[in-house]
Structure 1
Amino acid sequence: MKSKLRTGMMALAAAGALTVSSCGFGGSGDSGEEGGASTLDLLVPSYSDGTKALWEGVIEDFEAANEDISVNLQVESWENLESVLQTKIQAGEAPDIYNGGAFSAFADEGLLYPANEVASEETIADFQESFAENEMLDGTQYGLPLIASVRALFYNQDLFDAAGIQAPPTTWDELHAAAQEISATGVPGYGMPLGSEEAQGESLIWFAGNGGGFGDESEITVNTPENLEAAEFMKKMISDGVTQPDPGATQRTPMINVFAQGQIGMVYALPQTVGQIKEENPDLNYGIASVPTNSGEPSTLGVADRLMAFKNDEDKQEAIKAFMDFFYAEDNYVDWVETEGFLPTTKSGSEAMGSDESLKPFLDMLPTAEFYPTTNPAWNAADGAFKSLMGQLEDQDAQTVLEQIQSKADAA
């Protein structure tokens, strides 16, 4: 299943920011301001067949409650979204509100409102701290986290029972032992996808599980003691034969498909995997648990999309703020997130959705989510290096692999 969450718009953002600087940034050609009325342009991607109708419902209710504000909605596919945004920027017609990925280049050029200027204190305070911090550049929050996804451990209960495993693992040692027991039955105990699709995601799950990570907006940190210890344990899993064959060539999506058919003991997967299993193999006897870490303290990979507001016309600032506060009100926001099948980025949303047992492990891990350092210009190079080099962990020592990836990041 192709994830619709995007965090890799850095190249577009940089190009768009340069274009804006050179042509003069004047905002929408038609401000729509007459007699105190405001017209907001909203550009969003399509997450599902129902995305357009969802936004139309939000807009209808918002306009009914705010008769002096209207909203022009434009929905684009993810494939077209970035080129549409670039065209609008080049024409001096950036949307007032945009749902997209990386924001740092826009913010660095001074093109975005800080979040606290287009949302109330109550709205800002309701975001999970880990997600709010991910929307910051130089200490200022610009994005309003829209939807979230984190990884959890999916495990095959029937394979657990056959191997005599009493409970899902909470530490790396327990994960290794459980995978070893399952592998002894003839089924791979743990699925480790280090192919080009998402080697960076698998790696960050393990690195964060040892207090490591990929760095921040100012520095990419791959070759660190914490990450090295994690990579060495990953290699131990491979060398001890408790993973599927050839992890370096394994892609996440087909691997999860194999789990859904009952042929792998444990994998890290997404909230959407619940729906996939329900549709493809509803009889699968499985469970969901928190990600095992070295110490047992919770940590996981987090991914988020966001809303951001361009500084087109200062007369629209209050209208943008009214829309943001309306959308993130608990009832409106939770309905939108639930319908799209994602996780909420707000504390109130997590509380409201907490009764769904299939989502609870994901919701519990939201506060501990670790993110890709997408605000760092060198992240694209590091991301590519992970995808092309991390799979070599099968044949090379962990130190060498991390040094190679760090070198690619430093060169960027």
Structure 2
Amino acid sequence: MGLTMSLSGCGTSGESEEVTLRLVAADYGDGAKNSSQKYWDEVVSAFQKDHPDIKVDVDVESWKNVDGKVAKMVKDDDAPDMAQIGAYADYAVHKKLYSADDVLSIPVQADFLPSLTAAGEVNRIQYGMPFAASTRLLFYNKTLFKNAGLTPPTTWKELQEDAQALKNRGVKYPFALPLGREEAQAETFMWMLSGGSGLTDNIDSYTLDSPQNQSTFTWLRDQLVGKGLTGPVAPGELDRADAFSAFTRGEVGMLNGHPTLMGAAQAAGVDYGMVPMPGKDGKAKSTMGVTDWMMAFKQHGHRKQISQFLDFVYSEKNVTKFSDEYNLLPVTDSASHAMSVDSKHTDLREFLRELPNSQLYPAGKLSWAQVSASLKQEIGSAVKPGGNPESVLTHIQREAAAEENAE
């Protein structure tokens, strides 16, 4: 998730003219009580005590609307000064953004986790600046596991055996596999990494139809879905939100989840555990990481003021405060260390350990938006009874290549 940071040395000494910055930001809350508007109001109020000549107007929008709102503002030739949204590559390619070098001090840039910095680059120049992050672990229902005499799986074989034992005891969703259109690209990516491949290779070329990925989805089709271990809803019809809700109702034995599931499970009284995602023959070499982005638009030319504000936003105090409020992972080393040694965040430590070595979506590729949409639309059919993973993955790979060639 991604705001930027700024040049602490960019002062405005000698300048008395008031400047108003506009930030459009996504809402991470689930209601008025914990709306992100409250967080930003507090940040802006503290910032303006030392910078009375810089006003900051923050417009917080739901995730459903925020990307579209920024796109319309840019189309109408009235870009905000900053936007904290889901994707930056299109604006970077069309030269709408300041680079991170333009608006971040060296200490601030150096404080970002390297894997997140790399994911914010287009043609090796960083434009997308991470704001908050998440990664994934395998959640399991401790009560259901205890009743079945099970231990958490470390391999695919153990996962399948545990799921079978849970099914034998009448568990509704032994393993919830949400490949519905809400977030199928995430579940897909996790399983690709677990199987030893991924979305792209070391030179950032798509590897969607790699032999390992074909093998992974063939295994899912035959060993989980085909054996009736994924519950009454077909994976291609199961959204992540519905899978999470089923977990909080005690109906799911295992599923891949992110940190926000912890709070929901605790509130529902579900006794849960978390372990790294099993790999084919042992712990997966890496897990999936996710970040949203902050970007700074060049249109109104407020680079110095943007820099001062973002430098304040990315202080350890503010990064930690935001991450703590929404059960998300901080994007800086300093805040990550602060949270990892704080006993209040014991439950987040495994997520924090996984994040530095996680792999992120290829967000710097313009083609990724269409590839993600294709995965949401098609991947569920690869694992249904009689599905053909090779055919589905090859088709999406060809679509990806066509998008790449069109850039």
Structure 2 residue aligned with 1:178: 162
Per-residue deviation, 1:195 = 2.3
Measure, in 2, the Cα distance between the counterparts of 1:88 and 1:184: 55
Report the AA paired with residue 168 of structure 2: A
Q: Distance between the aligned counterparts of 1:179 and 1:348, measured in 2?
A: 39
Return the letter of the residue paired with 1:361.
E
CA distance 1:388–1:78, shift in 2 (3 Å):
closer
- What pairs up with 1:252-271 in 2 under 5 angstroms? 252-271=240-259
Query: Are the aligned partners of 1:96 and 1:310 in contact in 2 as well (CA < 8 Å)?
Result: yes
| Equivalent runs, 1:12-411 vs 2, <5 Å | 35=16, 37-48=18-29, 49=32, 50-166=35-151, 168-187=152-171, 188-215=173-200, 219-235=205-221, 236-245=223-232, 246-279=234-267, 281-282=268-269, 284-294=270-280, 295-314=282-301, 316-354=302-340, 355=343, 356-392=345-381, 393-394=383-384, 395-411=386-402
In the TM superposition, structure 1's runs of 4+ consecutive aligned residues that sit over 4 Å from their partners are none
Secondary structure at the aligned position of 1:200 is classed as helix
Amino acid in the other structure paired with 1:46: D
Shift of the 73–252 alpha-carbon distance from structure 1 to 2, 3 Å rule, reads closer
- Looking at structure 1, the residues matched to 76 and 378 of structure 2 have their Cα atoms a distance apart, in angstroms, of 40
Give the unaligned 5+ runs of structure 2. Answer: 3-13
TM-score (norm: length of structure 2): 0.85
Q: Distance in 2 between matches of 1:87 and 1:247?
A: 34
Which region of structure 1 is more displaced relative to structure 2, 177-186 or 125-134? 177-186
Q: Is the 8 A contact 1:128 1:367 kept in 2?
A: yes
The Cα of 1:247 is off from its aligned counterpart by 2.5
Distance in 1 separating the partners of 2:76 and 2:370:
30
Q: Distance in 2 between matches of 1:197 and 1:70?
A: 37
The superposition leaves residues 156-202 of structure 1 with CA deviations (integer Å, 9 ceiling, x where unpaired) of 11221122223x22222322232222222222421112222222221
Contact 1:291 1:298 in 2 (8 A): no
Is the alpha carbon distance of 1:210 and 1:106 closer, same or farther for their aligned partners in structure 2, counting shifts above 3 Å?
Answer: same
- What SS is found at the alignment partner of 2:346? coil
Secondary structure, in 3 states, of the residue corresponding to 1:181? helix
Gapped regions of structure 1 (runs ≥ 5):
7-32
Deviation at 1:377, TM superposition (A): 3.0
Measured in 2, the distance between the counterparts of 1:93 and 1:210 equals 45
- TM-score, length of structure 1 as denominator length: 0.84
Distance in 2 between the 1:329 and 1:56 partners?
A: 16
Contact 1:292 1:298 in 2 (8 A): no
Count, aligned residues: 378
CA 1:255 to 1:114, structure 2 compared with 1: closer, same or farther past 3 Å?
Answer: same
Letter in 2 for 1:348: S
Report if the CA contact (8 A) 2:277-2:284 is conserved: no
Instruction: Give the CA deviation at 1:357.
Output: 2.2
User: 2:100, 2:127 within 8 Å by CA — same for their partners in 1?
Assistant: yes
CA RMSD across the alignment: 2.4
Give a deviation string over 1:75-102, Cα, whole Å, max 9, x none.
3333443343244324433222211121
Letter paired with 1:408: E
SS at match of 1:377: coil
